[in-house]
Amino acid sequence: MPSDVENTAVRACLAGGRHLRERFGREPDAEYSRHDVKAEADRASEQRMLSVIRDSHPDHAVYAEESGDVSTGGDYRWVVDPLDGTNNFVAGLPSFASAAVVLDDDGPLAGCVYVPVSDDCYVARRGEGVTHDGTPVAADSDATTETATVGFVIGHDVKLDGRLAEADAMQAALGDATKRVVESWSPCVHWGALARGRLDGMVCFYPDDEEQHVGELLASEAGAAVARPTDGLYVAAVSEAIRDDLVAAVV
């Protein structure tokens, strides 16, 4: 089963992501709110991804960002993010991705992140590592904390429940400790960069499941040093030293 679901994840992400690439740069069909944006491209990508998954595994549970629980039951559960980085997409910024991950009772089993504009495809399977465009990669770099570039991710709920001040304080502390903090409007793109050592760390504060499950799979299978120092906080880095410094900065 693992190889089957891995193949399905890749095909689903390519189906959704290639459609996004075709639409990218056109006048966006989107609905804007104070803390979010919804684009018709989200829904179109999602339908393409769901078609692949449901045709291949009709007995699996599926949750998709736009549709919610599409199906329930079964031993496997899919989590689908058809357009990670919608703000970027509608603004004409090329940092966005399609992502899919399947979970079993032990957590994330296999997943894929596809970045359409750069044509980067990341695939991870539990116990099998991570590949980037078919080549094995690892979360490894020569960075120190002072030279590190790290991504900072907050979930949608943080924006709505009064925790933005806490998140802002964390981001400021990370900025003091590192060279640069990237506020991630497209977490999956940054998870892929971490998995091949292009990004030196990720700090996530109550992140959304749609990106976090696949992100944690990429991080662990790429050999990143990870920590969960408090409830709602997840830290991953290319070395234990950077991880420990990032934890110290935000806790």
Same domain, 98 and 26: yes
Q: Indicate whether 98 belongs to any domain.
A: yes
> What does the pLDDT look like over 40-57, one tens digit per residue?
888 999 999 999 999 999
Return the CA Rg of the chain: 17
DSSP assignment of 14-25, as one string? HHHHHHHHHHTT
Total structural domains in the chain? 2
Q: Residue 52 contacts by C-beta under 8 Å, 6 or more apart in sequence?
A: 8, 11, 12, 15
Same domain, 75 and 180: no
Same domain, 27 and 117: yes
CA atoms within 13 A on the CB side of 195: 31
CATH of the domain at 160: 3.40.190.80
Tokens at 67, concatenated: 């549709």
Q: Indicate whether 36 belongs to any domain.
A: yes
Q: What is the mean pLDDT of the chain?
A: 93
Same domain, 204 and 167: yes
pLDDT of residue 37: 59
pLDDT surpassing 90 at residue 65: no
Domain range spanning residue 219?
Answer: 145-250
pLDDT of residue 21: 96
Same domain, 122 and 149: no
Same domain, 120 and 10: yes
Same domain, 152 and 246: yes
* Domain end residue (candidates: 126, 160, 188): 126
CATH of the domain at 87: 3.30.540.10
Is residue 23 a contact partner of residue 39, using CB atoms and an 8 Å limit? no
> What does the pLDDT look like over 77-99, one tens digit per residue?
999 999 999 989 988 899 999 99
> What does the pLDDT look like over 170-207, one tens digit per residue?
999 999 999 999 987 899 999 999 999 999 999 999 99
> What does the pLDDT look like over 14-44, one tens digit per residue?
999 999 999 998 766 666 565 555 678 889 9
Q: Indicate whether 140 belongs to any domain.
A: no
Q: How many helices (H) and strands (E) does the chain have?
A: 8, 15
Same domain, 170 and 74: no
Q: Indicate whether 193 belongs to any domain.
A: yes
Burial (CB count within 10 angstroms: exposed 0-12, middle 13-18, buried 19+), residue 199: buried
pLDDT surpassing 90 at residue 1: no
| 3 state SS of 146 | helix
